[in-house]
A and B are shown apart, each in its own frame.
Chain A
Amino acid sequence: MYNAETVDETDRQDILASLGGDEAAFARLIERYESAVASLAWRFAREPAAREELVQDVFVEVYFSLDGYRGNAPFGHWLRRIATRVGYRFWKRRSRASREVPLADLDPPAAPGEMDPSAAGAAVHALLSHLPLPERLVLTLMYFEDCSVSEIADRMGWTRAMVKMRAYRARRRLKAVAQREHLLERLGWTS
C-alpha cells in the first residue's frame, strides 16, 4: 500500500493500525511528530494555549484525513503540509480581528548582540504580522522551515511563480515595515 522507500516501517504500521481504529497507534504517531508540529505551530501562534489547540487541530485533521495518505512521500512531509494549512487557517480566522502585533511592545536588548532568542522570536513574529497573510506565510516557511519555493508551492497548492512573487513582495514590504518601525535603532544594530 505504501512505498517502502518513502514511508518509515514504524510509521506504516502505526498508520495502518490507526486506520483500523487503534488509538494507541495514533497516540504513538502523535508522540513521534508532536515536537515538529508544535515547533511549526509556534510560528503561527505564540500564545501557549492557542498553540496547544493548534497542535491538537493538526492531529485531529491528520486522523480524519489518514485514509487520504497515499505514502508517496514520507509521513512527516504530509503531516507538515496539513500543519501548515491548519496554521494558515488559524491566521485567517484571527486576521478578521486584526492580529498585528505592535513592535512597541518589544523589549530592547541590554546590549547589541545580547538579544535573547525568545525576544528575537517575538520581534520576528511582530514584524511578520504586518504582512498580508500569503506573504507572511511564505517568509515564515522560508525562515523557519527552510522551505524552498517548490516546497511552499507544494504545501499550499500555489504555483511556483506565485510563491516567488509573494516572497519578493514580502521582503520589500518587510523592509518598509522595519524602516518605519526603526528596527535597527531599536535593536542597536545601526553600526
Chain B
Amino acid sequence: MDELKAMENLVRLARQERLPATDAASGAIERIRAGAVRPVRVLPLSVLAAAAAVAAAVVMVLAIHAWTAPADPQTALFPIVEVASL
C-alpha cells in the first residue's frame, strides 16, 4: 500500500471519531459582554475623514482670502494719502 493511500484510509477512519462535546455558548457570550462595544468599522471612519478634509479645505480657502485681504478698512486709504503727500 502506498503511504498516501494509507493516509486516506487513516483520514476515513479519523472522520468516524466521536468528538468530545463542547459548550461554547456561555463562555462566548461572557467574553462578548467583557469585550463591550463592537469595533468601529472602517467605512464610517472614512466618511468622517472625507468630511474633515472638505471642512479643512474650506477653512484654508477662507484663511488665504483673509490673509490677502486688507486687514483694516483704513488701509485702503493709504495710497490716496501717499498721492496727496506728493
The residues of A with any CB-CB pair to B shorter than 8 Å are 23, 26-27, 30-31, 34, 37-39, 41-42, 48, 51-52, 55-56, 59-60, 63-64, 67-68, 115, 117-118, 120-121, 123-124, 127, 143-144, 171, 174-175, 178-179, 183-184, 187, 189-191
Residues from chain B with Cβ under 8 Å of A31 in the complex: 25
Interface residues of B, dominant DSSP: helix
Pick the contact of B16: A64, A117, A124, A174 (CB < 8 A): A117
Write the nearest CB–CB distance from A63 to chain B, whole angstroms.
Answer: 5
Write the nearest CB–CB distance from A80 to chain B, whole angstroms.
Answer: 15
Contact yes or no, A120 B17, CB < 8 A:
yes
Chain B interface size, as a band, is 20 to 34
Known: A60-B35, A67-B41. A189 touches B6 (CB 8 A): yes
Write the nearest CB–CB distance from B19 to chain A, whole angstroms.
Answer: 5
Contact yes or no, B25 A27, CB < 8 A:
yes
Query: Top 3 nearest A-B pairs by Cβ distance?
Result: A120-B13, A178-B3, A121-B14
Write the nearest CB–CB distance from A189 to chain B, whole angstroms.
Answer: 5
Contact yes or no, A127 B7, CB < 8 A:
yes
Flag whether B29 is at the interface (Cβ < 8 A). Answer: yes
The residues of B with any CB-CB pair to A shorter than 8 Å are 1-4, 6-11, 13-25, 27-29, 31-33, 35, 38-39, 41
B3's nearest neighbour on chain A, judged by CB, is A178
Contact yes or no, B1 A190, CB < 8 A:
yes
Pick the contact of B11: A34, A38, A55, A143 (CB < 8 A): A143
Write the nearest CB–CB distance from B40 to chain A, whole angstroms.
Answer: 11
Residues from chain A with Cβ under 8 Å of B25 in the complex: 27, 30-31, 34, 59
Residues from chain B with Cβ under 8 Å of A117 in the complex: 13-18
